[in-house]
Structure 1
Amino acid sequence: MMAIIKNIDLGSLETICKILGDTNNGISGTEISKYLAETSIKDPQLNSTKWKRLYDALSIKQSEDSCSNNILAFIKYVLRPSRHIHRKQWFENIRTELNYVLSFEGLEITESGDIKITDKVKTFSEAEERAQTLRKTLLDRKIHSDVLIFCKAELLVDNYFHAVFEATKSIAEKIRIKTGLTNDGSDLVMQAFSFKEKVPYLALNSLQTESEKSEQKGFSNLLIGIFGTFRNTTAHAPKITWKIDEQDALDILSTISLIHRKLDKAVEAKKYMKEIYNPPQPSFKKEGVS
């Protein structure tokens, strides 16, 4: 049996309902009715505004139960990953916003959609201070600008994993932009950098010597390792159990910074390989012709 979890602060509950009932990015009014009915939470329909209607239903239920278990079960039900296989980015965005609020309650929605107890953040300034400290240290390391944008308080209210996770996703996005490919993770890396095809999509160098080819293969393996650790959507254990401290985050983000610099300099492999496969033909002058 699930342990009794104390009431969620009404201020936090209001913010949760505003996130879920947001006009542009939240769930629809029809979905609210459906999910409340399916989780056996009465809809008093006191307000027509989505978030207020949701707040009325959840706050009344919590008051009746004297605990938040059914409220958390509702959130878990709404964010069941299998519901959102065609809008994964929406799922991640909503989960990040909700975790920002839930962190003040000592709770977190995991990547698998479960809710777990975690370290409680007491103040927003605590998260801000953590973000500023990380950003300052990374600036001292002259970190790549594409990595600095992930040093946000909302990504650090629980631990540093969220910042690292989001920064890793930016690597895949840069590769897709440079190649036009649509894959993700190791499949994207293999398609972009491997020698299975005559010419890879991207090259770090001219790829003419064994040393240069080894650099390309090593970089590809580095990317696969990064994705395998932080982007494997079927392996939930790292997100749930792996506590990344500040030093871990600094080292990993520094590696991601190196990757971004390498990607910035990478060019279409065909430009490097053109001379190999289409070498310039020598010109011959006919005798007596200037």
Structure 2
Amino acid sequence: MAIIKSLDLGSLESICKILGETNNGLSGTEITKYLVECNIKDLQLNSTKWKRLYDALYSKQTEDRCSNNVLNFIRYVIRPSRHIHRKEWFENIRNELNYVLSFEGLSLTESGELKQADKVQTFDEAEARAQNLRKALLDRKIHPDVLALCKAELLVDNYFHAVFEATKSIAEKIRLKTKLTSDGAELVDQAFSYKAKIPYLALNRLTTESEESEESEQKGFMNLLKGVFGTFRNTTPHVPKIKWNIEEQDALDTLSMISLIHQYIES
């Protein structure tokens, strides 16, 4: 592996505060376990979790004169297979870490791997994007579930991650309404199939009086959903196929469409 320069100490401190946060971070037992498994000495100079973690990672980075082992520790901790029963926690921690890592020109993917990313220089850049997008969406009377995704941590690079998360929110809403557990095209077929006697979700009554037109509407909506899933997410490993350079206008148009889909599903 190529040598990766040491992390800025401010970034390292923020990372440790995220991972060692009192309520939502790693437990003390987990910190001990992961440090040992990554061959990083636990100095135990502080009882506070994040400070204890910072001491260990700072010492290792100083000794190595690079951040390779520190970054390997982050990858090790955030490995998705460790968190299969707390997906929401994984997503929240990954988003927070990415907010910090963006200042180092790095990003954690949904598979828990680190990759190069455009380096952000200031918090203002990400905050301004979030505020601008939120204002424009408010003007469009966008669905609140989509509006909630206008977070600075999702916009530190470009608008791709906001669109990506909004797309995932569609599937989550369908699962909540139907209790189904599948995803992507399979979920759409199971939830909306008008060939079933009574589909889980229907846009209309699917009555025999107007069977052809009402079935066409249902089929058209299914195709729209499959198109959105197929375009903006890879439904098997749950990671983006390509990190598109989506600009603000692209995001506005796409999020408006996703908002309309949310309204249809709720009705």
Misfit runs of 4+, over 4 Å: none
State the TM-score, normalizing by the size of structure 2: 0.91
Change in 2 beyond 3 A, CA 1:10/1:109 = same
Q: How does 1:162-241 map to 2 (within 5 A)?
A: 162-208=161-207, 209=210, 210-228=212-230, 229-230=232-233, 232-234=235-237, 236-238=239-241, 241=243
Change in 2 beyond 3 A, CA 1:100/1:250 = same
Stretches of structure 2 lacking an aligned partner (at least 5 in a row) = none
Does structure 2 retain, via aligned residues, the 8 Å contact 1:62–1:71? yes
Distance, in Å, in 2 between the alignment partners of 1:19 and 1:12 is: 11
User: In structure 2, what residue type is equivalent to 1:261?
Assistant: Q
Cα deviations across residues 47-77 of structure 1 (Å, max 9, x unaligned)? Answer: 1121111000001111111211111011011
Q: How does 1:4-15 map to 2 (within 5 A)?
A: 4-15=3-14
User: In structure 1, what residue type is equivalent to 2:186?
Assistant: D
Does structure 2 retain, via aligned residues, the 8 Å contact 1:168–1:231? no
User: In structure 1, what residue type is equivalent to 2:219?
Assistant: K
Does structure 1 retain, via aligned residues, the 8 Å contact 2:180–2:187? yes
User: In structure 2, what residue type is equivalent to 1:65?
Assistant: D
Distance, in Å, in 2 between the alignment partners of 1:233 and 1:18 is: 32
Distance, in Å, in 2 between the alignment partners of 1:257 and 1:231 is: 20
State the TM-score, normalizing by the size of structure 1: 0.84
Cα deviations across residues 216-273 of structure 1 (Å, max 9, x unaligned)? Answer: 011112112222332524263525x3332223212211110110121232xxxxxxxx
Does structure 1 retain, via aligned residues, the 8 Å contact 2:194–2:215? no
Distance, in Å, in 2 between the alignment partners of 1:73 and 1:29 is: 19
- 2:115 aligned counterpart, secondary structure: strand
Distance, in Å, in 1 between the alignment partners of 2:127 and 2:9 is: 23
Distance, in Å, in 2 between the alignment partners of 1:207 and 1:197 is: 11
Does structure 1 retain, via aligned residues, the 8 Å contact 2:164–2:240? no
User: In structure 1, what residue type is equivalent to 2:235?
Assistant: N
Does structure 1 retain, via aligned residues, the 8 Å contact 2:110–2:238? no
1:263 aligns with 2:265: yes
Does structure 1 retain, via aligned residues, the 8 Å contact 2:194–2:218? no
Distance, in Å, in 2 between the alignment partners of 1:87 and 1:150 is: 19
Stretches of structure 1 lacking an aligned partner (at least 5 in a row) = 266-290
Match of 2:251 among 235, 249, 252: 249
User: In structure 2, what residue type is equivalent to 1:257?
Assistant: S
User: 2:146: which partner in 1?
Assistant: 147
Does structure 2 retain, via aligned residues, the 8 Å contact 1:169–1:231? no
Does structure 1 retain, via aligned residues, the 8 Å contact 2:78–2:112? yes
Q: CA deviation at 1:189?
A: 2.0
How many residues are aligned here? 263
Higher Cα radius of gyration? 1
- 1:203 aligned counterpart, secondary structure: coil
Distance, in Å, in 2 between the alignment partners of 1:99 and 1:230 is: 19
- 2:241 aligned counterpart, secondary structure: helix
Q: CA deviation at 1:115?
A: 0.6
